[in-house]
Amino acid sequence: MSKKIKKKTNLSNKSQLGMIVFRFSKNKLAMFGLAVIVILALLCVAAPLYIDYESVYQQSMADRFILPCAEHPLGTDQFGRDLFARIIYGGRISLLAGLVVVAMALVLGIVLGGIAGYYGGRIDNVIMRICDVFMAVPRMLLSMAVVAALGQGTFKMLIALSIAAFPGYARTVRASIMTLRNQEYVEAAKCCGTSSARIIFKHVVPNGLGPVIVSATLGLGGTILAIASLGFLGIGVASPTPEWGTILSENRANIRYYPYLGLVPGMFIAISVMCLNFIGDGLRDALDPRMKN
C-alpha cells in the first residue's frame, strides 16, 4: 500500500517522552490551559504572602456589598468579606481537594485495575463486579449517599467522591493492561530477550499510562465541579470555609442585585475546569497522535 509515509523528519531523533512533550507544546489550547492553571495554582499557593488571612473571615457590616474597586478587586459580600481573598483561599481548597480526590481514586483504581488486568480470571471478575456495583448509581448520587452515611465534613466528602470515582480509573487501567499484555510489540520484546523490567518501563508503562493520565486530568476538572456542586447544595465544604461552590451558595440570595457575587466564583470554576480539560485533551492528542482529527 503506497499511501502515507509519515516521516517525522525533525522528530526522529527525540525520545518518546521528548516527542510527547514536543507535540503537547505545539498544542496552543493545551499550552494556554497549562499556563492558566499554573498561574492560578501559584496565586493560590502564594496567597499567604499577599493576602491577609484575616480578611477571608473578617466580617464588617460597614463594608457590605462594595463593588469591585482598588481596595477590593472583586468587591465584598453580604458580610463585608473581601471576595478576592475568599476566592483565592477558596481556590486553595477547591484545587487541593480535587487533587486529593483524584489521587485517592487513582491509587485505588490503579491497584484494583492493575490486579484485575494482570491476573485476570476470577479475581478480575470479582473486582469488576465490585466496580459494577459502585457504577450502578450516578457518581453525584453515590457521593451524596456516602456523605449521608459518614456525616458532613470536608474530608468525609473527599472520601465519598473518591469512592464514587475509583471504578472508572480501575476500568481504564484494567483495559490498558489487558490490551498491552497481548500486544505484539510486547511479545516481540519478550522474544528479543528484553528484561521484564525493561518491558514494563519501556513498553507497558508509557503506552498504558497514557489513558490513565488523560482520564485523571479530565477527572480533576469533573471532581472540582462535583466538589463545587456539593458545596452549593450545602453538603460539601461548609460555610464559612471558602470553597468556590460554597461561596456561590452563600451569595445566592444577593446575586440578583450584585451579579459580580455570582459571576466571579462561577467563572473561576468554569475557567479552571476548562483549562484542565484543555490540558487533558492536549495530553491525549500528544500521547496518541492517531486519535487527533
Partner 1 sequence: MEKHLLEIKNLHVQYNTDEAVVHAVNGLSLTLDKGEALGIVGETGAGKSTTALSILKLLPDKVGEITEGSIVYDGIDIIKANNHTMREIRGAKITMIFQDPMSSLNPIMTIGEQIHEVLELHFPKMSAAEKDQKVDEILGLVGIQKTRKNEYPHQFSGGMKQRIGIAMALVAEPELLLADEPTTALDVTIQAQILQLMQELQKKYNTAMILITHDLGVVAEFCEKVAVVYAGEVIEQGTVEEVFTREKNHPYTTGLFNSIPDLTSDVERLIPIPGFMSDPTNLPEGCKFAERCPHCTERCRKEAPKLYEDGGHSIRCFLYETKGGQ
Partner 2 sequence: MVKYIIKRILMLIPVIFGITLFIYVIMSLAPGDPATLILGPDATYEEILAKREELGLNDPILVRYFKYMAGVLHGDFGISWYNEYDVMGEFLNRIPNTLLLGLLSNAIVILVGIPLGIIAAVKQNGVIDYCTLVLAMLFSSMPAFWFGLMAQIFFCLNLGWFPATGAESLKHFILPAVTLASASLAGQVRLTRTSMLEVNKLDYVRTARAKGCSESRIVIRHVLRNGLLPVVTSIGAHIATIVGGAIVTESVFAIPGVASLMINAVKIRDVPVVMGVIVVISVFVGVVNLLVDLLYAVIDPRVKLGS
* Interface residue list for partner 2 (CB under 8 A): 129-130, 132-134, 136-142, 144-152, 221, 225, 228-229, 232-235, 245, 248, 252, 255-256, 259, 262-263, 265-266, 269-271, 273-274, 277-278, 293
Rounded to a whole number of angstroms, the minimum distance from the CB of residue 26 to partner 2 is 18
Is the CB of 2 or the CB of 15 nearer to partner 1? 2
Residue recorded with cell 510489540: 185
Rounded to a whole number of angstroms, the minimum distance from the CB of residue 290 to partner 1 is 12
Rounded to a whole number of angstroms, the minimum distance from the CB of residue 10 to partner 1 is 8
Q: Examine residue 6 and tell whether it contacts partner 1 (CB under 8 A).
A: yes
Is the CB of 43 or the CB of 145 nearer to partner 2? 145
| 76 bridge partner residues | 82
**Distance separating alpha carbons of residues 162 and 179, to the nearest angstrom:** 26
Cis-peptide into 68, omega within 30 deg: no
Q: Spell out the residues 6+ positions from residue 125 whose beta carbon is closer than 8 angstroms to its own.
A: none
Is the CB of 11 or the CB of 148 nearer to partner 1? 11
Number of residues that bind partner 1 (CB under 8 A): 11
- Interactions with partner 1, residue window 41-100 (CB under 8 A): none
Cβ–Cβ under 8 Å, residues 228 and 102: no
Cβ–Cβ under 8 Å, residues 166 and 112: yes
Cβ–Cβ under 8 Å, residues 82 and 257: no
Q: Which does 1 bind (CB under 5 to 8 A by kind): partner 2, partner 1, none?
A: partner 1
Q: Which does 11 bind (CB under 5 to 8 A by kind): partner 1, partner 2, none?
A: partner 1
Q: Which does 68 bind (CB under 5 to 8 A by kind): partner 1, partner 2, none?
A: none
Q: Which does 103 bind (CB under 5 to 8 A by kind): partner 2, partner 1, none?
A: none
- Interactions with partner 1, residue window 7-46 (CB under 8 A): 7-11
Is the CB of 2 or the CB of 182 nearer to partner 1? 2
Is the CB of 156 or the CB of 202 nearer to partner 2? 156
Q: Which three cell numbers stand for residue 96?
A: 487541593
| 82 bridge partner residues | 76
**Distance separating alpha carbons of residues 271 and 57, to the nearest angstrom:** 25
254, with CB counted inside 10 A (0-12, 13-18, 19+), is middle
Q: Spell out the residues 6+ positions from residue 268 whose beta carbon is closer than 8 angstroms to its own.
A: 87, 90, 91, 244
Rounded to a whole number of angstroms, the minimum distance from the CB of residue 41 to partner 2 is 17
Q: For the stretch 188-216, what's the b/e string if a residue is b when 16 or more beta carbons lie within 10 angstroms of its beta carbon?
A: ebeeeeeeeeebeeebbeebbebbbebbb
Is the CB of 243 or the CB of 285 nearer to partner 1? 285
Strand, helix or coil at 82? strand
Rounded to a whole number of angstroms, the minimum distance from the CB of residue 44 to partner 2 is 18
Which residues of the chain form contacts with partner 1 (CB under 8 A)?
A: 1-11
